[in-house]
Amino acid sequence: MKTLYIKSSPRGERSKSIELWNHIIEKIWWEVIHLDLFNSYIPFLSEWVIAYNYWFGEYEWLSSEDKKIADVQKEYIDQIKSSDNIVIAAPMWNFWLPGALKTWFDLVLKINDTFAIENWNYIWLVKNIKKTIVVWARWWKYIDTPFAPYDNLTGPINLLLWFIWLEAKNFWLEWVNYASWEQLALESLNIKGEIDSFIAA
């Protein structure tokens, strides 16, 4: 069994989403593939790589810079296709997800590789993932509050995952910079308990 762990906060030891993520690592002892988005090559798709992805060009025609993009795109897709579980740790940034995570999605949601469209039918090509977990941290409280409509993250991130047929379980740590240290520790403990129950199920 392999688990792909994706970190999308650059805050290292200070990161609350990574704290939850570390908790999951301790629980799942299978082989782990680490992908730290802020310390990895996560390029934007270029004009010629998009053309290549949509069959308007051959790999050999790409420049060495574009080949690097196409190669790393393949590497990230291979990571997904060779994993049994995916765990993503992410902060909320400006009501949305960090750009590095969105760029990773732009690379891995690839036609005829992770999904296909045939005769106007949508086909999912990622069939190996058993569990997908997203652990989030954010400053404010959105769940069950009047601020829920400002949460432009939970819906879209789940939609991006669903695009390749991954149904994620989300765990949110809220009020990160607002709650007292004791409140936060308690909340974090509660969420870790929920994570444990989900993993054990």
Ligand X SMILES: Cc1cc2nc3c(=O)[nH]c(=O)nc-3n(C[C@H](O)[C@H](O)[C@H](O)COP(=O)(O)O)c2cc1C
Catalog residues that contact ligand X under the rule CB under 6 A.
9, 11, 15-18, 91-95, 137-140, 176-177
User: At its nearest, how many Å lie between ligand X and the CB of residue 190?
Assistant: 17
Residue placing its CB nearer to ligand X in the complex, 48 or 136: 136
User: At its nearest, how many Å lie between ligand X and the CB of residue 24?
Assistant: 14
Residue placing its CB nearer to ligand X in the complex, 48 or 171: 171
Residue placing its CB nearer to ligand X in the complex, 94 or 119: 94
DSSP codes, the chain:
-EEEEEE--S-GGG-HHHHHHHHHHHH--SEEEEEEGGGS--PPP-HHHHHHHTTSS-GGGS-HHHHHHHHHHHHHHHHHHT-SEEEEEEE-BTTB--HHHHHHHHHHS-BTTTEEEETTEEEE------EEEEEEE-SS--TTSTTGGG--SHHHHHHHHHTTT--EEEEEE--TTTS-HHHHHHHHHHHHHHHHHHHH-
Residue placing its CB nearer to ligand X in the complex, 115 or 175: 175
Residue placing its CB nearer to ligand X in the complex, 42 or 70: 42
- Among 138, 132, 157, smallest CA distance to 16 is for 138
- Taking CB atoms, the residue at the shortest distance from ligand X is 91
User: At its nearest, how many Å lie between ligand X and the CB of residue 20?
Assistant: 8
User: At its nearest, how many Å lie between ligand X and the CB of residue 21?
Assistant: 8
User: At its nearest, how many Å lie between ligand X and the CB of residue 65?
Assistant: 29
